[in-house]
Amino acid sequence: MPNHKNAFDVLRVLFALFVFISHSYFLTGRDNEPVNVLSKGQTSLADIGVMGFFSLSGYLITSSFDRSSNAFRFIYNRVLRIFPGFWVCLIVTAFVIAPLMHYVNNGNLTAFNYWGNGGALSYIYNNALLRINQWGVSNVTAQSIYKGSLNGSLWSLYPEMQCYLLTLITGLFMLFNKNKTAFLLLLIFVYAVYVVNIYDTSQRFGPAILTLSNARKLYTAYLCGAAMYVFGDKILIDGKGQFFILLFALLLLRNGGFLIAAPALIAILAIKGFSNFRLSLKYDISYGLYIYAFPIQQLVFTCWGKALGFAGACLVALLLSCLAGLLSFVLIEKPFLRLKKIGLAPVQKS
């Protein structure tokens, strides 16, 4: 693992903030999200942030597999990284945030559904394996501008875990070292499926897992990040090169075609760009910030948005989300990460 790992922790927080900002506009019904306006509807800050997460994961998780003593150790580490924080988030969302929203909106908890179908307990049970099957709790978003989900950010964790399994399979077939050509062909194929299906969805091309999924861009971004690790010694892009790539990305963002190149451009700019920094982050709040921000924003915007105004509600939601991220890391994620010490494998944080 490169010694600029802490810089990537900072980058993950930055990507989480991208998602937070974009969702602030989305959850309040505003259509003037800055990147969406700049790109003329091509993309949003949330899209860039999530693709950034996946490209960085592709780089770090491929490295993690390369250093794992065996497949079981790799899976064990991935489960410890994702599930404890996710499960606690489900519990907090179902039994703290949802009842609080219900109480503020109705003045009591008598009609809140704790145990029945569509209630708090079923929210945890139905979503416990990462695939989100129940989007709300006891209809608490009925008075929200966006009613479709209490925590819309969690959907991306399932394709994230799918990417981990892809890393495991490709790693076992040694596509990261002895069969790099096969890995390159895999990347080209997935990228081609992604590009062909961007604009014309009437004639889908490729396997069902890609063509029927709304995570194609995330899979592609993940593989682009993995490629930055696999072919890192051959991708020689200095600061000047990164600057011109950034200009090219901005031109595409403004004039069209950004989505076609986005997975590769984001991976290059994120991984190569932040490799030049030596930053320190004591508490990695990125995961907690990402998974808690959406329900906290729903709570703040729905219950106190009018009183606080847009800017005030955003600030309060951001502070609460950062606090939730900090508590998640200190109380849940970090203690479980220590369990990686069990056995012979070294501790891996990413």
Question: What are the residues whose beta carbons fall under 8 Å from the beta carbon of 31, sequence distance 6 or more?
Answer: 25
Q: Quick: pLDDT tens for 115-173.
A: 999 999 999 999 999 999 999 999 999 999 999 999 999 999 999 999 999 999 999 98
Q: What are the tens digits of pLDDT across the range 331-340?
A: 999 999 999 8
Task: Judge whether residue 1 has pLDDT over 60.
Answer: no
Structure tokens given for 336 = 């479980």
CA atoms within 13 A on the CB side of 40: 9
CA torsion, points 203, 250, 232, 344, in degrees to nearest 10?
A: -80
pLDDT exceeding 70 applies to what percent of the chain? 92
Query: Is residue 32 over pLDDT 90?
Result: yes
What are 62-91's pLDDT values in tens digits?
Answer: 999 988 878 999 999 999 999 999 999 999
Single-letter amino acid code for the residue at 180 = K
CA R_g for the chain: 20
Buried b (16+ CB within 10 A) or exposed e, 226-235: bbbbbebeee
Residue by residue, DSSP assigns 254-319 as: HHS-HHHHHHHHHHHHHHHHHTT-----SS--HHHHHHHHHHHHHHHHHHHHHHHHHHHHHHHHHH
Which amino acid belongs to residue 147? Answer: K
Q: 138 is written with which tokens?
A: 């006891």
Decide if 66 contacts 77 (C-beta within 8 A): no
User: Tens digit of pLDDT for each residue in 302-317?
Assistant: 999 999 999 999 999 9
pLDDT in tens, 236-246: 888 889 999 99
Query: What's the pLDDT tens digit per position in 211-238?
Result: 767 899 999 999 999 999 999 888 888 8
